[in-house]
Amino acid sequence: MKSRTLRRVCVSAVTVAALSSVAACGGSGGTSGSGKNGDRSPAAAAVALSPVAALKKVQTKSGSVHSAKVESTMVMGTTMSMTMSGAMDWSDGMTGDVSITYTGGTMGEAMAKMGGDGTMRALYLKDAYYMNMGDAFASALGGKHWLRYAYADLAALTGASGDAAQNQIKNSTPQEGVKALLASGDVKKVGEENIRSVATTHYSGVVDVAALTARSGGLDAAQLQELKEQLDAAGVKTERVDVWVDEDDLLVKKTERGESAAGAIDSTVFYSDYGTPVSVRAPAPGDTADFKEIAGQAAKTAS
C-alpha cells in the first residue's frame, strides 16, 4: 500500500473512531443485569418526578454501576455506516473491548480497498486506544496488527475537536448520555415503551451541540471558539437525543440524530448486563505501531 493511501486510511480511522465509535457505544441485548425492584413499573417509579429529576436519578445510578455490554449502529452521512458490540467499563476512566464493522460509506470503501472485510477490534485504555484492522492492514505496517492512538497525540494533531474527542472517549458512558439530555434544557417525558422486552420510560430533548461540548469537554476559551468554528463549518447545529430508562433507573437505549454538511448523523445504542466484568490489556509492543509516527512518516513521503 502506498504511504499516501496508508496515511489517508489512518487519518480516516482515527477521526471516525475518536469522534463517533465510542460516543455511539451500544449494548448487547436490552435487559439490565442489575436486578429487579419488585413489581415497580417505570411509570410508577417516575410518577412523582419531573423529567429532570428522574434523569438525575438515572445519571447517578448509571454512574455507580461502572460497566455494561454495548451494541450500537451509526451512520454519518456518506462518511461511514458502522455497527459495534462489546463491553465498556468507566469505573476509573474509560476502558473497553469492542468489535467494529464498517458497513458502508467512504470508510467502508477504504477498508474494502485494503482487502479487509470492514471489521476491526478496538481496545480502550486510560491513555490511548488501539485498533486491529486485520492481516491486510498489518502487511502495510511491517506485520504489526495494532495501531495505537494516544489521546494526547490526537488532541495535538486535530486541534480543539481532538480535545473534545479525547474527553468524549474518556467520558462516553451511559450517565454522560443522560447528562447530554439534561444539558439540553428541553427534556420531556414521552411515555412508556417496551424495548427488547424491557419496560422503559422514554425521554427526549434537543441539544445544542457546540454548547454541550463546551460543558462536557473541559475546553478553554480559545479551544471552544475553534471548535465552534469547526462545527459551524461542518454544518452541525443541533441534535435530538432520546433515552429509554428501565425500572432500575438504568439506561437501556439511547438515540442521537442530527444533520451535518456531510449528511445525516444517526446513532442507536443499547446497554445491557450492567456490572459485567471488563478486563483490557494493551497489545504487545512488538505487534503495535504508533499512529503519530505512521502519520508523520506518511506526511514526509507525500510532501
Report the C-alpha gap between 303 and 301 in whole angstroms: 6
Q: In angstroms, what CA-CA distances link 56 with 8, 25, 53, 62?
A: 42, 21, 5, 10
Task: Give per-residue pLDDT as tens, 257-293.
Answer: 888 777 888 989 999 999 999 999 999 999 999 888 8
The three grid cell numbers given for residue 53, joined into one nine-digit string: 429529576
Task: Give per-residue pLDDT as tens, 66-121.
Answer: 899 999 998 888 888 889 999 999 888 788 999 988 888 887 787 777 777 788 89
Residue appearing with cell numbers 436486578? 35
CATH of the domain at 109: 2.50.20.20
The per-residue pLDDT for 200 is 97
Range of the domain at 85: 3-302
The three grid cell numbers given for residue 244, joined into one nine-digit string: 429509554
On the CB side of 235, how many CA atoms lie within 13 Å of its CA? 10
Q: What does the radius of gyration of the chain's CA atoms come to, in whole angstroms? A: 19
Angle at 125 between CA 122 and CA 129, to 5 degrees: 45
DSSP E strands, the chain: 67-76, 80-89, 95-104, 119-124, 128-132, 146-150, 188-195, 198-208, 238-245, 251-260, 263-272, 288-290
Is there a contact between 108 and 102 (Cβ–Cβ < 8 Å)? Answer: yes
Quote the number of domains for the chain. 1
Query: Strands 188-195, 198-208: parallel, antiparallel or unpaired by DSSP?
Result: antiparallel
The per-residue pLDDT for 272 is 94
Report the C-alpha gap between 226 and 46 in whole angstroms: 40
Report the C-alpha gap between 266 and 256 in whole angstroms: 6
- CA-nearest of 267, 13, 272, 1 to 119 is 13
Q: Average pLDDT over the chain, rounded to whole?
A: 76
Task: Give per-residue pLDDT as tens, 140-184.
Answer: 778 899 989 887 777 666 655 555 555 555 556 787 778 777 777
Report the C-alpha gap between 8 and 133 in whole angstroms: 14
